[in-house]
Homo-oligomer: A and B are copies of this chain.
Amino acid sequence: MEPVAAISVIPVKGMPLFRPGMSVARELLDAIHRRGEGLDDDDVCVIAQKIVSKAEGAIVHLDDVEPGARAKEIAGETGRQPQMVQLILDESIEILRATPAAIIARHRCGHVLANAGIDASNVESGEEGTVLLWPRDPDASARAIRDEITAISGKRPAVLIADSMGRAWRIGTTGAAIGCAGLAVLDDQRGRGQDLFGRTLQATVIAVADSIAATAALAMGEGAEGTPAALVRGAGRWVSNEDGPGAASGLRPVAEDMFR
C-alpha cells in the first residue's frame, strides 16, 4: 500500500452541552454543518466518551451509592470516598492496583484504566457529587451513533468513541478507543507485509483506532476549552462499511496479561 497522503484532525466546535436523551449523531451533524464542513464515507467521527455517557444518562449521584465492606476497606487504604470506590467496584471486573496515587481497574468492558473510567469533571453544572460512568456498551453506542448518522445524512463515516487513559510506565494520558464502528481497530501486518528488504515483518500489529484517538483527543482538548468531537480525514483505508468487532477486539486477553 502507498503511504497515506496526510491525516488531518479537525475539532468540531460548537457542540452543545449534552443532557440525557439528546442525540449525539444529530448534534454532531448540526455542528459539522454549521462549521461549513461536509462529511464523507471515509471520514472518522471521533466522539468524546463524556458526551455519549451524558446523552445515555450514565450519571450517578454519589449520595445514592451505598458503599459495602470492601469499598470501605479500599477507601480507607487509598484515601478515597467510599461511594466512589463502590462505583469503581460496580463498574469493574478486577482491581489491579489500589494505592493513594491511583486505583487501576479492569472495566467490565475489559479496558484497564484508572477509576474504571469514572469522571467527576464536566458533569452537570451545580451538581457537586455527581459522576459520569462509561456508556453501558461503548461499541454498541458507536454502532448506534453510526447508524443514526447514516439515517440522517446518507453518509457512513466510521465512529470512534474516545476517552483519555493513563499508561503503566509513562506520565500523562493519551486518547484511546473505547467504542468503534466501521474503523479497523488493528492493522495486523504479521506475515503479510514485508519490510524494505523483503523480509516478512515479525510482529507488527498497528493499533489504528488508538493511534487516531490519541491525536484526536489532543486536538479536542480537555477542560473549558474542550470540544467533544473531531473529524479525522485521510484514514479512509481503515474505514469500512461493516461495523467490525469494535474496540473490545483491541484488548489483550486476560490470560495473556503479564501485568495483573
Contact = CB atoms under 8 A, between A and B. Distances in A.
Nearest to A187: B172
Contact of A170 (B11, B172, B252): B252
A259 B259 contact: yes
A106 to B, nearest CB: 8
A126 B227 CA distance: 50
A22 B194 CA distance: 25
A65 interface: no
B211 A174 contact: yes
B223 A121 contact: no
A81 interface: no
Nearest to A104: B258
A25 interface: no
A18 to B, nearest CB: 11
Interface stretch (A26-34, A55-63, A138-146, A161-169): A161-169
A3 interface: yes
Nearest to A204: B222
A5 B222 CA distance: 15
Given A211-B214, A212-B215, A223-B193, A206 B11 contact: no
Nearest to A221: B3
Contacts of A199: 121
A219 B3 contact: yes
Interface stretch (A71-79, A85-93, A94-102, A150-158): A94-102
A241 interface: no
B11 A8 contact: no
> Quick one: copies of this chain in the complex?
2
Interface of A: 1-11, 13, 17, 97, 99, 101-102, 104, 106, 111-112, 114, 120-126, 164, 167-176, 186-187, 189, 193-199, 201-208, 210-212, 214-215, 217-227, 234-235, 250-252, 256-259
Contact of A251 (B120, B171, B207): B171
Given A205-B171, A207-B171, A208-B218, A196 B2 contact: no
Contact of A222 (B120, B121, B201): B201
Given A125-B197, A196-B122, A197-B122, A221 B4 contact: yes
Contacts of A186: 171-172
A12 B10 CA distance: 21
A175 B211 contact: yes
A7 B218 CA distance: 9
